[in-house]
Amino acid sequence: MKKRLYLVRHGQTMFNHQHRIQGWCDSPLTEVGKRQAMAVKDYFEGHGISFDHAYSSTSERCCDTLELITDMPYTRTKKLKEMFYGELEAESERLGSRDPKECETYYVRFGGESSNAVRDRMVSALKEIMDRKDHQSVLAVSHGGASFNFLRGIGADMRPYAGGITNCCVFVLEYEDGGFRLVECIANPVTDSQ
């Protein structure tokens, strides 16, 4: 039986707006980020989508996003956290790498995680969640890098995300027989200029 996972990146934060690297460090949602989360809520309500369970990264920006999307109880888990960027946390994005192959080891030299470790953590965590018996329609709020590496881990076509994953986009995935299939990516209509 096919199950559905709705994987959402958190709304825009102060560090996103300032173009800072944001992994395990945190910053608050901006007003744009809050509107993005409300747009996701409106989308789900407008399409009659409901959830039997919800999960969030332990980062405040993800919890705040989830709480704007739904008022249902949810589980916080460190397994959905963003990649750890080590000494580059909160530094300018200019110091980071945008090359997926280079990212496999780039941040390790700064005391951070490899992207493959994040990939494996995310795939394992979301399979564990979706394998639970009463989990048919699940909401999970995570991060851009973590979601990118998850999608890479399940063999999704990564070409559309080469420029990054936008805030509060929604990845709709089917889960069946231990495998994920990306059905669609729903871009958020709220931009920084709104």
Q: Which phi and psi angles does 100 have, rounded to 5°?
A: -55, -40
Examine residue 165 and state whether it is found in any structural domain, yes or no: yes
2 Cβ partners below 8 Å, 6+ apart? 174, 175, 176
Which position has the token pair 């989508």?
49
pLDDT tens digits in sequence order for the chain, 194 residues long: 799 999 999 999 999 999 999 999 999 999 999 999 999 999 999 999 999 999 999 999 999 999 999 999 999 999 999 999 999 999 999 999 988 889 899 999 999 999 999 999 999 999 999 999 999 999 999 999 999 999 999 999 988 988 889 999 999 999 999 999 999 999 988 977 65
Helix (H, G, I), strand (E, B), or coil: what is residue 33?
A: helix
Q: Which residues pair with 141 in a beta bridge?
A: 8, 56
Buried b / exposed e over 45-63, threshold 16 CB at 10 Å, is: eeeeeebebbbbbebebbb
User: Which amino acids are annotated catalytic?
Assistant: 10, 82
| CATH number of the domain that residue 116 is part of | 3.40.50.1240
Examine residue 115 and state whether it is found in any structural domain, yes or no: yes
Give the DSSP letter string of 101-170.
Answer: HHHTTGGGGGT---HHHHHHHHHHHHHHHHTSTT-SEEEEEE-HHHHHHHHHHTT---GGGTT---TT-E
Domain membership of residue 112 as a residue range: 3-186
Examine residue 191 and state whether it is found in any structural domain, yes or no: no
Q: Distance between CA 10 and CA 101 in Å, rounded?
A: 24
- Residue 194: the pLDDT is 56
Cβ atoms of 10 and 62 within 8 Å: the answer is yes
Q: Distance between CA 83 and CA 24 in Å, rounded?
A: 7
Examine residue 63 and state whether it is found in any structural domain, yes or no: yes
Examine residue 193 and state whether it is found in any structural domain, yes or no: no
Examine residue 192 and state whether it is found in any structural domain, yes or no: no
- Residue 122: the pLDDT is 98
Q: State how many domains the chain has.
A: 1
Q: Distance between CA 103 and CA 114 in Å, rounded?
A: 7
